[in-house]
A = this chain, B = another copy of it.
Amino acid sequence: MSSSPAIKLRVFSLNCWGIRYLSKLCQERFEMIGDLLMKEKHDVVLLQEVWSEKDYLFLKSKLSKSHLYSHYFKSGVIGSGLCVFSRYRILDTFLYRYSVNGYPHMVYHGDWFGGKSVALAIMNIQEVVFHVYVTHLHAEYCREKDQYLPHRVVQAWELAQFIRHTAKTADVVILGGDLNMHPNDLGNRLLRSYTGLRDSFLETETFEGYNGGATLHPENCFSSKCELQPFPNGIRIDYILYKASVGFVVRCERLMTTKGNAPEKNIPYSDHEALTVTIHVRNTTNEDSYLEDLDPELVNVLNEAQMEVKVGINMAEKHRYSSGRMGVLGLVLFLLEVAIALVSFLTTAAEKSFPKLSFYLLGSLAFAVLLVMGILHVFYTVEVRTLQGTVDQMRLAAQQGGAPASLHHL
């Protein structure tokens, strides 16, 4: 029994693949994205991988009439890549930067340099408080041997924790973004069962897009054919999730994803497909609304997640040990070289007893090894401690039967 008219909301989410000078046809695609948003006038637009502030400012000026409000979230070396455009006033924002996010020395993977985060924007639409989250988790580069899996599980856990702790007074929670996880991956199950968020793809009344809701598809000319080889029908890694608190009901009327090339163009908007969801939020009497049942699977998922993070701790400890050992070797070699050099410098007789260039090159190498391994050792120490901290938190949650008191508020 509805007590007030429903609010209809159209939410858009896209990973824009906006790495200037590296992503193909970046400028052209941002113009296409701007045109699309201006024409479609979605209520809320959640963008990821807008790495350059210039591209954000371009969109902001282009959407100055259709979307009066926007926020660009800065974090990390090249930003978080996240931004929100909205037809409704953004009342408040908050950013949480994930505590682990790959490795700085994996320069070719690059995730570490983007300060991967989850961003919150709070809006009040017709007296209903919306907490809108946008995020982008660490990429999966090799599914068979995924060295980043523990990092992604920790990010999924922190995402769930952040939403649970900050959305307690929200009437409606919406999360959009590139989770870099397949629908049934551990992190995804953890996120859904711990927050109670529902997957619009599973809930929608009508769906338009690729079979299975794929958002990375071989038909998209920018997608990595090699990465998608085991998945000829594509994979679904971009999501719009939602939930309502007591007193509200959300109905997902329609989910639409783009399919490769943009209409009347010969290129797609991005290497990911864009999602557009139409939801109806209805105020209900208390009898009509439901109290979220706690997912009975939650404790199992929490235990599984702890196991995975512990694998990550083992790996990080091994890396820390190796880097420490290499650092010590570098130090010993460097000190030895310095000693020999000093002797040769003081006793000129020894001048010709060893080759010069190779000797000094070795010295430089030893010094570089010492420095780099020292930094890596510190880095892995941080990783070990962060992962340990996460396991502690997960253990606490599992002890509570996955039902901390605070969850009941959501």
Contacts and interface: CB of A to CB of B under 8 A. Distances in A.
A404 B92 contact: yes
Contacts of A363: 360, 364
Given A75-B99, A168-B168, A129 B368 contact: no
A58 interface: no
Contacts of A371: 368, 371-372
B341 A357 contact: yes
A367 interface: yes
Contact of A406 (B91, B115, B364, B388): B91
A202 interface: no
Contact of A392 (B71, B97, B120, B122): B71
B129 A405 contact: yes
B71 A165 contact: no
A26 interface: no
Interface string A380-400: 011001101100110011001
Contacts of A90: 396
Given A92-B397, A169-B169, A396-B92, A73 B364 contact: no
B405 A74 contact: no
A73 B216 CA distance: 38
Contact of A357 (B72, B345, B364, B405): B345
Nearest to A115: B382
A75 B115 contact: no
Contacts of A73: 389
A99 B97 contact: yes
Give how many copies assemble into the complex. 2
A92 B388 contact: no
A350 to B, nearest CB: 12
A177 interface: no
Contacts of A71: 392, 396
Nearest to A393: B93
A73 B393 CA distance: 9
A385 B115 CA distance: 10
Nearest to A73: B389
A409 interface: yes
Interface in A191-223: none
B124 A92 contact: no
Contact of A405 (B76, B96, B124, B364): B124
B165 A74 contact: no
Contacts of A372: 371
A166 interface: yes
10 contacts: A75-B389, A90-B396, A91-B400, A91-B405, A91-B406, A97-B97, A97-B99, A113-B378, A120-B165, A341-B357
Interface of A: 71-77, 79, 90-97, 99, 113, 115, 120, 122, 124, 129, 161-162, 165-166, 168-169, 341, 345, 356-357, 360, 363-364, 367-368, 371-372, 375, 378, 381-382, 385-386, 388-389, 392-393, 396-397, 400, 404-406, 409
